[in-house]
Structure 1
Amino acid sequence: MTDLTPDPHRPFGAKDWIGLLARLVLGGALVYAASTKITNLDGSVLSVRAYQFPFLSYSMEKTIGYALPVFEMVLGVLILVGLFTRIAGAVGLLTMLVFIAGIASAWARGLSIDCGCFSQGGQTDDPKYLTEIIRDTGFALAGLWLAVRPRTPFSVDNWLFRPIPAPGFHDSEFDDHHDADEDALVGEDTPR
């Protein structure tokens, strides 16, 4: 069975740098979106109400409107700093899929609203549903990338979750002792 744990000593490759770009794009978008709403939570509630979901009660709309900017801020910061990157990327992917479904629903029901992604949302004469869906699909792909390939440069995960050698051994000593143990197990007559 192949060990899927990334080697912390391996230099970062192109795919790792793409992951950093995905972190900056998705995390930055979430933090920016939250910052446009967090200072006006009542406007965030009105943005949720603009979607006119029949299954959401008044109190649920209010709860979502208040919680969403905080949720976006926390998730965005986790992604930006690279902490719990795989989980945060997966949650970012799911969040974007929910946003895409909401926008598509508003479009299908003939509503004329701004999605409220980077503003207070609400009624508009010029909805941009296709552009918003394409944009959020790009963010969703960034989340998917991070869920599949969480190793990225400059992430807190690299610092917190790197393997720790046994007490009394440095990495190079560990490698030397490991090789010596392997040599002892392989006898003179054993082919390599």
Structure 2
Amino acid sequence: MRAWIGTVLRLVVGGVWIVAGAVKLPDPAESVRAVRAYDLLPESIVPTVGHLLPVVEIVVGVLLVLGVFVRLSAVVSALLFAAFIIGIASAWSRGLQIDCGCFGGGGFDPDATAKYPREIARDVALLLASAWLVWRPRTALALGEVLFVRPDEVEVKEIS
């Protein structure tokens, strides 16, 4: 049963990452604006983060959906969600009215304060799902289980 719970979590979290990255990929300038709006990173690295983030999100999502390198992908996923939770909470506490930029967009949003609790709750749920996958990376329908056989699962036959 745990393998199937993990499979559902893997597909949900992976799907969210793929959608989030794919929406941002066509307009990297918008992603850079969203990162800049948080006013947390030094300006010298904002463009790099803004350009790389959608790519990282898609890669993590694809790896999770395929079930390849699940634990590693889930660790990266959990770290990203933790960073996003901190970023949104920081923006909220500083009175910034910005779109989270999670699924494109970014910049000023007059309704941001009302959205922050829901965005944080969503990211906490996805962080917990990622943590489950770090703890229990073996899931059903995972391509990694086919591609990478664990040494303790290889049957050794004696030659007599």
TM-score clears 0.5: yes
Sequence identity (%) = 45
Match of 1:15 in 2: 2
Match of 1:147 in 2: 134
SS at match of 1:113: coil
1:133 alignment partner, one of 120, 124, 134: 120
Q: 2:75 & 2:132 partners in 1: Cα distance? A: 9
1:36-61 deviations in Å (ceiling 9; x for gaps): 100000010001111112xx232311
Higher RCO (C-alpha 8 Å, min separation 6): 2
Aligned pair 1:52/2:39, yes or no? yes
SS at match of 1:114: coil
Match of 1:117 in 2: 102
Extract unaligned runs of 5+ from structure 2: none
Extract unaligned runs of 5+ from structure 1: 1-13, 178-192
What is the correspondence of 1:1-192 to structure 2 with a 5 Å cutoff?
A: 14-53=1-40, 56-127=41-112, 128-162=115-149, 163-166=153-156, 169=157
Q: CA RMSD in A?
A: 1.4
Letter matched to residue 23 of structure 1: R
Letter matched to residue 108 of structure 1: S
Q: Greater CA radius of gyration, 1 or 2?
A: 1
TM-score by length of 2: 0.91
Letter matched to residue 42 of structure 1: A
Counting matched residue pairs gives 154
Letter matched to residue 129 of structure 1: Y
TM-score by length of 1: 0.77
SS at match of 1:123: coil
Q: 2:64 & 2:32 partners in 1: Cα distance? A: 25
Which is helix-richer, 1 or 2? 2
Letter matched to residue 159 of structure 1: V
Q: 1:86 & 1:145 partners in 2: Cα distance? A: 9
